[in-house]
Amino acid sequence: MPMELSPADAPAPIVGLGVVVVDLLAVVEAYPQPDTKQDVQTSLIQVGGPVPTALAQLATFGHRCRLIGRWGNDPFGDVIEADLRTIGVGFAPDCRRTDLTTGHSQVWIDAGTGQRTSVTQRSDLQRFALSESDHAALVSARLLHLDGWPSELALQAARIAKAAGALVAVDTGSPKPGIEELLQIADVVNAPRRFVEQHLGTSDIAAGAERIADLGPRIVTVTDGGHGAVMHADGESLRTAALDLSAGGRGWSDARSEAPVRGNATTPRCIDTNGAGDVFSGAIVHGVLAGRPPAETLKFAAAAAGLKCRRLGNRDALADEPSVREAAQTLA
């Protein structure tokens, strides 16, 4: 079983910094109305956060990764450390702090659609400062993956990594302080439709991707759930389909027409969308580091996210590279 990294250990090529929480997942028949009760169908405790989940997917693809984060000296902190050891993502001993309470999320998943609603209690990271081991990891990384939080620390880490010659990837779920500067530093950016709508004021995700690319990133993707995703790369706009995971769905659906393209009647329905965007972002990083063509990378990422939605959670649900490549070949 992999052990956590110490400052003296060899650094990992991929370093991630961002929110790390423990997710308490509950699958319910439907979102309950106020002042009502219902039974949980299935439950799961897992480690969540955009960066840890992306690193878990990258580790599944065979990459060596390290997480820069902070959590408390409490039972939830034990859960995080056990998970990172299991998936082989390194971390330094100083990630565990006695002056913090580990962040956690309550996640309700609608059994009928697989859609999720999440409420998070974040750790107070205002006192979070980069340690000597964090700095060493950043200056030796090939790529730094960020979610933009904590804002000031993300900017500091991005500047350090960039100055040392690393690529910087940002997965921004919602507008955060300092995001404009972070987007200007980044080489790779992934965002959901809601970010484009909230931050740029447009519902045209292709135009939104292009506007983000104008800030400096070489590759920008915007995800749109079951409608697929778009990419703006090297001046070109690309679009890919999403996997049709509806009950009885017949396979892959075209992102523009939503018409079934290929598949069969046994295609699993969508079980859990929680973490799909994080997986997508990790798969984009994988394609970039492998030097894959943009169109191939986009399809690969869409396939990885779709396959994750077929199972509950964000660890056992992660597909290996051969499975993702096979699925991506079916995409329109």
Q: Sheet containing 21-28: give its strands across.
A: 42-48, 21-28, 104-110, 116-121
In a domain? residue 3: no
> Would you say 56 and 6 are in contact if contact means Cβ atoms under 8 Å apart?
no
Contact at 8 Å (CB) between 141 and 157?
no
143 vs 62: CA distance, rounded Å: 15
In a domain, 39, yes or no: yes
* pLDDT tens-place string over residues 28-80: 998 888 999 999 999 999 999 999 999 999 999 999 999 999 999 999 999 99
Q: Is residue 1 part of a domain?
A: no
Report how far residue 321's alpha carbon sits from residue 313's, in angstroms, rounded to the nearest whole number: 18
- Asked if the structure places residue 77 within a domain, the reply is yes
pLDDT category at 128 given cuts 50, 70, 90 is confident
What is the residue type of 175? Answer: P
Instruction: Please give the pLDDT value at position 115.
Output: 87
Domain for residue 6, yes or no?
no
Q: How confident is the model at residue 268 (pLDDT cuts 50, 70, 90)?
A: low
Q: What is the mean pLDDT of the chain?
A: 88
Count of domains forming the chain: 1
pLDDT value for 253: 34
Q: Give the integer Cα–Cα distance in Å for 289 and 124.
A: 33
In a domain, 2, yes or no: no
Range of the domain at 242: 14-328
CATH number, residue 316:
3.40.1190.20
Q: What is the pTM of this model?
A: 0.89
Indicate if the pLDDT at residue 24 is higher than 50: yes
176 falls within a domain: yes
Rg, the chain, Cα only: 19
The SS3 assignment for 233 reads strand
Quick one: angle between helices 294-308 and 321-328, nearest 10?
110
pLDDT per position as a tens digit, 232-256: 998 999 999 897 676 443 333 333 2
Distance CA 104, CA 71 (A): 10
